[in-house]
Structure 1
Amino acid sequence: MIRRSPAKKGNARTSRMSDGVARVCAAAGIALLVLAGCAERPAKVAPADDPQTVVQVEEDDSAAPGRRADNRPELPFNELTDNILYEFLLAEIAGQRGNVAMSAEAYADLAKRTRDPRVARRATEVAIYARQTDTAIESAKVWHETDPGSARALQLLAGLLVNASRLEEARPYLQKLLTVPGANPAEGFLQLGRTVTNVQDRAGVLRLMQTLAADYPKLPQARYAVAQAAFNAGEDALALSEVLEVQNLRPDWEPAVLLEVQVLQRKSADEALKRLARHLEKFPNSRDIRLNYARALLTDKRFPAARAEFQKLLDDFPTNTEVIFAVALLSMQLQDYRLAEDNLRRLLDLDYRDKNQIRLYLGQIAEEQDKVSEALRWYAEVDRGDQFIPAQIRYANLLSKQGKLEDAREHLKKLGSASAQQRVQLILAEAQLLRDARREKEAFQLVEQALGSQPDQPELLYDHAMLAERIDRLDILESSLRKLIAIRPDHAHAYNALGYSLADRSLRLPEARELIEKALKLAPDDFFIIDSMGWVLYRMGNLPEALKHLRKAYAGRADAEIGAHLGEVLWMAGERAEAEKVWREVSEKNPKNETLLKTLQRLKQ
């Protein structure tokens, strides 16, 4: 960064003109230097939104195609015309004034016109920063074409295309990335597998992986990537055959065994457990397999066997902090708080990487056992960092539960925050305290006030909508959720909340169903959204399909509200004994659930 000298006193208008002239001169200087081919490129825009690197490649020091002997790209000769200079000035000044969208467009046009790889790189980076994916892709193509030896250009272009779900277009660039000097295909396939996890076109990802892996039939990581893609696409038979082939190539590789277990779990939890046990018979020192075996036993409620596995892990890896931490968390799930606390306290004495996380968990254990003062002490000992805000929110919740609501609110307000996201967390936490105290109007006003300074903040918009529903302002609920959908079209819970709110009131049911279907497409395994689909089908009079969805939701998550819905539909379908059974189950765990109580009062009065 260049520091400015202290300005001399003078006319304000003159100062502004001087600043403007300085910016123009600086931009003109950049243009002259770049286009003359004798300068470093302009300073890079902050890379906060770089697409994920799909395949890591080490830069090769030897000369690459299209590069000089010193491995620098061949540069074109460009005459500095008035039009090019104007566009450079436009791009730079727009960026300096915060209009990165205009800057990105101007740089993209310059990249096409000049065919200079440094300009194309700058154009790509600015477009990524401006979240203009199509512009970034076009600029990255120019960069790659004008500097084919740049691994960074190839990585960014492939990554942008994958993130945009333009998989077939990305394929030749990915194939090239796997073969360029410095590439490691084994690591490349693993990295690519992680990158495509969030791509919605699962079938397209599978086709891409199969094509890429075809050239590497004996590479375990390539076959594993295909198996992963097949599993995510719901092609379990293919996933199983591929993962078994991986194990033929590399029998002791734990990730392949764990993927096989995931496939088996879809059909039989018992078969998955047996597979883990068979692997441990052959490879008893497989730490990750034994951890997963212990987790699976816990899920299957085989508590004595799970405890025995915990003990084996601790015996085999007595000073391994990762093992001790995993056993502590599994013990918390098992509600074996003494074992969990003992292991967490051990971690405080060992060289564990995040002791604040340990203090947070110790506070939660104390809270679960109603040891309020001990829990407050642990939360207070959490230092600033990733765990600080969650710990202080829990501290405030405990104060509120003791009837000290105003003290709890004051505690949150005096914390301060290092980022806008932390401020949002604290506002939402305070709103939740007010909601729990049935002061919904105050909670609504608090979030609405926060939206005044951050009108497009997604979490605030969602909470604003939920609070509007509590004070019976359906108009605000709908406007907030529709704004959120416009900002975040992939926000599954925004579609779901709007669709469910309409369905619950029997309003615009076809539209409600359409909204919930969109949510389900975005999050097909979310049991609350599956419950919403069952509920809207019930409201539309389709009881058989409603029961199908509600049973699936309840089997996946025995939540009180889902149970209330399932019970009501069973009751209306004449299956009253089963309805009573479901209501009994959820009442034991959540006797004060509002939806459940209203349902029982309405149907059994």
Structure 2
Amino acid sequence: MQQQKFEPNLIMEAQNKVASGVNMKRTHCKKLFALFVFTSLLISGCATRSTAPAASDEQIEVAPSLAPHKVEHPIGQLILANLAYYRDDKASALDYYYRLSQSSESPLIHARVLSLANQLSDYEKIKESSYYWIQQHPSNHTAFRSALHAHLALNELDEAANLWLERYQQSEPPLSANTSFQLLVYLQKNAPVLALHQVVEMMATRLPQEPRIQLLHAAVLYDEDKLTQAQTAIEKAYLAIPDNDTIIKLKAWIHHKQGQLKALDEFFVSVHQRLPHHIDLMSFMLNMWIDLHTYELAFGYARLAVNNNPEVAGLDYLFAKAAFYSGHTTDALPVFKELTQHKRLSNDANYFLGKILQEQHQCENATRYLNNVDSGQYHWQAIYAKALCLSEQNNLEGAISLLEKHRRDFPAARLYSLSKQAELLVAHHQPARALQTMRDGLDYSENDLPLWVLYFETMAAYDTQQQVVSSLTALKNKFAPEAYYSLLNYCSHVITQPGPFASLATIYDSLIAREPNNLELRYSKALAAEFAGEHAIVDQEFQYILDLVPNHSSALNAYGYSLVERRQRLEEARDYIHKALEIKPGDPAIVDSKGWLHYRLGELELANDYLETAYRLSGDGEIALHWGEVLWKLGHKEDAQQLWEQALKINPNHPGLRNALRQLKSS
């Protein structure tokens, strides 16, 4: 009689089905019943000792009473391993599966060893099992990844680097740039990051011309904010593999993080010319341009992308979105209408159609489209847009009822809905109701800092700034210290009058007396003093911070900007801002300060370049005001108007933008 081969895959599959309640044919059930009878015999000892009593289910203990060495047959080990696994006895299951893995090539066995060893953080077993698997199947990527993970967890950096380099030097199967990057991302999430970065650095030193390693090196340097070195590494990778999408995307992000937006634009244009039919890259580029508020450029290239790839609905959507934000609503409308029939994009398309019609004061038609938005990223915004339509139709109570219903139907939207309701009430000059609405929201979540800011801004506008200070004083013992410091920092711009600021300064001084080297407190106090025009305090606090931490980029920038606003010591301000920009080259607040400095010095073209970059990086309403003022001085009044209209779409409640547009249209 021919001996039957031990096939753990089939047994594991069958037992998995039993465990999950899958119906099987009667013959399969008979076989499985026999296996479980055999298991019971093994556990009870009847397979080896006829005098052993039978054990009930309650008496069975897979571990530690039945050690793995007592059952030598692989089928018995497998059954006991599965029993331990399904009873969540991970340690015993790992012991059984590990023994089986030494004599089995089954990928299911090895996968379960790795899974259990990972759950138990048994990196020695992960390493041993992974290498055994690699010997059996040298091309198996899961085993390779697990072995790397184990080496990193055990701080075996040379071994990790050698294993990784060996895989790069193998011709079959090649470890592509994209797979390399995915492996890095996996290890960053699961392995010690410092050890991983050291290993990548070691590989980059040993094989400096290998583009796949340079890609990894660039990604690590990017995460460490070593952007100049990251740019050097990614350029090497890009020169060797210029059409790889991962390399292209990382190169773009490095340009972005450094604030090199002109270089980014040129790079994207060159990629579009070389790879006009690469849909994923086209979508990435257009999305980044839209996120950078470069709407005209996005609009132009989206049109080209759609012409080159007319059947791709996602590109149509990006074209219409860019058209909406750049003011080309005539181009956007028919595309959005067509996309309402597209299952994946219909909610977004209906939202944008509603917004276009709302801006054109066609509230009934707008509401018809907004009613179709029942989920997706714009669902809450669509509810608020409908409330705005009701408000414009002088139906404030209807708008509030709609927002109240939204809160009942979607409890997660409570804070968003309450803040929008408060904004509507403020716009309708009902501050008492607005403050009560915000208090309701703050009772629900007292750590919502933006809502606190709106609350205190409203209180300062309709009550008194002294009342704001009194409220802040009362909150001092309600918040944890760090949360309270953040609240003060967020509200630093609210107090602008000398008397209330003196009271606020008393709060700061009492806190600083307890923590004299708390730089967050001193920074917050300096900002508050700046808004109140107390420049002696501004100088004192920023000098204290910079004496203690000369490279404090936020203090360097804020102090430099303060001097620019005062039109004092502009060369000193230039030094502060320049140093801050060296530390954080892509920080929009610092780039804005640099542009505003050039504006104060009368260097309008330089100011225009920096302020354009700052706005594209942030979409901030204040920066839009700065850039628009420079455009106005340069004689580009239509560009200034278009900029402020676009910025108002992003910052719909920004009073400065509304006032600027009002003045521009009346001039």
2:471 to 467, 470, 476: 476
1:381 to 364, 372, 391: 372
Distance 1:362 1:511, change over 3 A: same
For 2:406, the equivalent position in structure 1 comes to 415
Contact 2:204 2:217 in 1 (8 A): yes
For 2:43, the equivalent position in structure 1 comes to none
1:497 to 469, 490, 493: 490
| Displacement after TM superposition at 1:479 (Å) | 6.7
Distance 1:394 1:597, change over 3 A: closer
Matched residue type, 2:341:
D
Distance in 2 (alpha carbons) for counterparts of 1:561 and 1:310: 28
Mean CA deviation greater in 553-562 or 355-364:
553-562
Distance in 1 (alpha carbons) for counterparts of 2:567 and 2:282: 48
| Displacement after TM superposition at 1:594 (Å) | 6.4
1:25-424 paired onto structure 2 within 5 Å: 39-40=84-85, 70-71=109-110, 121=119, 141=121, 143-144=122-123, 189-191=180-182, 209-211=200-202, 220-231=211-222, 233-263=224-254, 266=258, 269-288=261-280, 290=282, 303=296, 309-350=301-342, 352-384=343-375, 386-417=377-408, 420-424=411-415
Contact 2:561 2:593 in 1 (8 A): no
Distance 1:537 1:401, change over 3 A: farther
| Displacement after TM superposition at 1:516 (Å) | 8.3
Deviation by residue 1:488-523 (Cα, 9 ceiling, x = unmatched): 79x9x75741454578847359865434899x99xx
| Displacement after TM superposition at 1:371 (Å) | 2.2
Matched residue type, 1:414:
K
| Displacement after TM superposition at 1:438 (Å) | 3.5
Q: Aligned pair 1:446/2:488, yes or no?
A: no
Distance in 2 (alpha carbons) for counterparts of 1:398 and 1:448: 25
Deviation by residue 1:422-460 (Cα, 9 ceiling, x = unmatched): 222222222222233333343332333344454556666
Matched residue type, 1:310:
A
Mean CA deviation greater in 365-374 or 272-281:
272-281
Distance in 1 (alpha carbons) for counterparts of 2:365 and 2:239: 53
Matched residue type, 1:356:
N
Q: Aligned pair 1:425/2:416, yes or no?
A: yes
Distance in 1 (alpha carbons) for counterparts of 2:156 and 2:195: 11
Distance 1:387 1:308, change over 3 A: closer
Distance 1:514 1:300, change over 3 A: closer
Distance 1:287 1:500, change over 3 A: same
For 1:551, the equivalent position in structure 2 comes to 593
Contact 1:499 1:513 in 2 (8 A): no
Deviation by residue 1:231-276 (Cα, 9 ceiling, x = unmatched): 4555444223222221243221133234434555657654444433
Distance in 1 (alpha carbons) for counterparts of 2:146 and 2:452: 33
Distance in 2 (alpha carbons) for counterparts of 1:234 and 1:321: 37
| Displacement after TM superposition at 1:411 (Å) | 0.8
For 2:77, the equivalent position in structure 1 comes to none
Mean CA deviation greater in 495-504 or 365-374:
495-504
| Displacement after TM superposition at 1:466 (Å) | 5.6
Matched residue type, 1:474:
V
Unaligned runs of 5+ in 1: 1-28, 45-58, 75-116, 122-139, 522-526, 571-576, 599-605
Distance in 2 (alpha carbons) for counterparts of 1:291 and 1:208: 33
Distance in 2 (alpha carbons) for counterparts of 1:467 and 1:30: 70
| Displacement after TM superposition at 1:280 (Å) | 3.9
Contact 2:347 2:374 in 1 (8 A): yes
Q: Aligned pair 1:514/2:523, yes or no?
A: yes
- Rg comparison, structure with higher value: 2
For 1:12, the equivalent position in structure 2 comes to none
Unaligned runs of 5+ in 2: 1-57, 67-82, 131-141, 168-172, 510-518, 528-541, 546-552, 578-589, 597-610, 661-667
Deviation by residue 1:202-250 (Cα, 9 ceiling, x = unmatched): 9999656434656776764542232234345554442232222212432
Distance in 2 (alpha carbons) for counterparts of 1:156 and 1:419: 42
Residues matched between the structures, number: 468
1:552-567 paired onto structure 2 within 5 Å: 552=594, 555=611, 556-557=614-615, 561=622
Contact 2:180 2:216 in 1 (8 A): yes
Deviation by residue 1:270-311 (Cα, 9 ceiling, x = unmatched): 4444433434444343345556776899979795x7655333
Distance 1:437 1:239, change over 3 A: same
Deviation by residue 1:297-342 (Cα, 9 ceiling, x = unmatched): 9979795x76553332122211101111111111112211121122
Q: Percent identity?
A: 15
TM-score, with length taken from structure 1: 0.57
Q: Aligned pair 1:593/2:664, yes or no?
A: no
Distance in 2 (alpha carbons) for counterparts of 1:566 and 1:363: 30
Q: CA RMSD in A?
A: 6.2
Contact 1:324 1:343 in 2 (8 A): yes
Contact 1:528 1:553 in 2 (8 A): no
Matched residue type, 2:329:
Y
TM-score, with length taken from structure 2: 0.52
Distance in 2 (alpha carbons) for counterparts of 1:206 and 1:154: 18
Matched residue type, 2:490:
A
Mean CA deviation greater in 474-483 or 29-38:
29-38
Matched residue type, 1:551:
S
Distance in 2 (alpha carbons) for counterparts of 1:293 and 1:40: 47
